[in-house]
Amino acid sequence: MTKFFRALALLALGTNIVSAQDPATAPGTLAYHLATNAAARATLPLDRAVFNGPNSVGLDHLTGAHWSPTFWLHGVHGLSATPIGYTNYPLSGQGLPTLVSPRHYLCATHMHPEAFTVAFLDTNNVVCFRRTLQKVDVGSDTSVGLLDNDVPASVEYLPVLPTDFMSYLPATSTNYVQGIGMNQAFYVFPQPMCFWSPGSVTWDPGMAVPHGVSTNGDVPIGGGDSSSPEMLLVGNQLVLASHIYSARGGPNYAYQIYAIDEKMHYLSTNNHCASDYQLTEFSLGNWPKIR
C-alpha cells in the first residue's frame, strides 16, 4: 500500500472513530453534564450518609440530626425535601415521601407515610414535624399526599423532570445517564438511569455511565427501599424523576405531570387550603436538544 493510500485509510479510520461518538452523550449535552457534574463531586470512597445524628432509638435521633459536612453532595439544593424519618419509627427510612411543593409530597402507593408523623431536617439543621391530612392515588404506584401545614422555606421541595425531557436525554436501552438514588439507610449515591421505556425509569448499579462516577459508588436497591426518590443532579439542584417501585425501576413522573397536578389541586380544595400548589417542571432549555 502506498503512503497516499495508507494516509487515506488512516484518515477514514479517524473519521469513523469521531462519527461513532454518540451525539446524545457528547460534550455540551445534558447527559454529559449529568455525568461530569456528579463525577466532579465524587471522591472515592464516597461518604454516602446524608445526615448524622445521635445513635439512639428515641426522638433525639431526629431532633439531634445534622447534615453531614463530609457527605459527597453536601450543600446541593433539595436534600431536605425527603424526611429523615418518622417520630414513631425514628431509625426507619422505609417508605419516605418527597416534597414537590411546600405542602404536597409524592410517594409509592404501596407504602404508607400517611400513617406516621414525618420529620424534615431543614437547611439550618432544624427539624420540623408534619403529618398527612389526606393521600390519593394517581396510578402506576404513584400517590400524592397533603401535609397539615406548609413546611417553612428552609425545607426545600423538588422540581420534577419536565414533559419535554425526551428532547434532551438519550432514549435507548443501552444509553444510561448519571442519576442519583437514595435508600432506607439514608444513603444517597450515584445511580445509572435509563429512560428508554415510556412511562418508567430504570436503573442498574452495574452499568458504567460515560464520563460519570465509577460503579464502585453505586448501591443496589433492596427490600424496604420503596418510595425513596430517584433524581438527577443538574448544576446544584436535585430534580425528581421517579421513586423506587422495584429493585430496577419506578414510574416516570414526567408522564404523570397532568394527573399529579390534578390530584394536588383536588387535595388543596378538598381540604380548604388557602394555597393551590402545582408541580414545578425543571427547565432543560440551557442544553441543546438532541432530537
149-161 pLDDT, tens digit per residue, is: 999 999 999 999 9
Over residues 250-270, the pLDDT tens digits come to: 999 999 999 999 999 999 999
- All residues at 6 or more sequence positions from 149 whose CB lies less than 8 Å from its CB, including other chains: 103, 130
Over residues 18-60, the pLDDT tens digits come to: 334 688 999 999 999 999 999 999 988 889 999 998 877 778 8
Residues in a beta bridge with 194 = 202
Answer whether 181's CB lies under 8 Å from 189's CB: yes
Residue of 35, 145, 61, 50 lying closest to 101 (CA atoms) = 145
Residue of 47, 31, 11 lying closest to 185 (CA atoms) = 47
Strands (E), the chain: 51-52, 66-67, 85-86, 98-99, 104-108, 117-121, 127-139, 142-147, 177-182, 188-194, 200-203, 229-234, 237-243, 249-251
Over residues 165-209, the pLDDT tens digits come to: 999 999 888 899 999 999 999 999 999 999 999 899 999 999 999
| Numbers of helices and strands, H then E, in the chain | 4, 14
- Using a 10 angstrom Cβ sphere, with 0-12 exposed, 13-18 middle and 19 or more buried, the burial of residue 127 is buried
Look at residue 229 in the predicted model and tell me its pLDDT.
Answer: 98
Rounded CA-CA distance 64/52 in Å is: 8
Rounded CA-CA distance 216/194 in Å is: 19
Residues in a beta bridge with 119 = 85, 129
Convert 246-256 to b/e letters by CB count within 10 Å (16 or more is b): eeebbbbbbbb
pLDDT of residue 82 exceeding 50, the answer is yes
φ/ψ of residue 112, rounded to 5: -135, 70
Alpha helix locations (H) across 164-273? 257-270
Look at residue 214 in the predicted model and tell me its pLDDT.
Answer: 86
pLDDT of residue 1 exceeding 70, the answer is no
Rounded CA-CA distance 61/64 in Å is: 6
Sheet holding 188-194, edge to edge: 237-243, 229-234, 177-182, 188-194, 200-203, 249-251
Residue type, 253: Y
Residue 217 pLDDT class (50, 70, 90 cuts) = confident
Residue type, 85: G
Please report the domains of the chain, with CATH numbers, ordered by start residue.
23-291 (2.40.10.10)
Residue of 120, 117, 135 lying closest to 80 (CA atoms) = 120
Look at residue 17 in the predicted model and tell me its pLDDT.
Answer: 35
Look at residue 218 in the predicted model and tell me its pLDDT.
Answer: 78
Residue 14 pLDDT class (50, 70, 90 cuts) = very low
Look at residue 18 in the predicted model and tell me its pLDDT.
Answer: 34
* Residue listed under C-alpha cell 436525554: 169
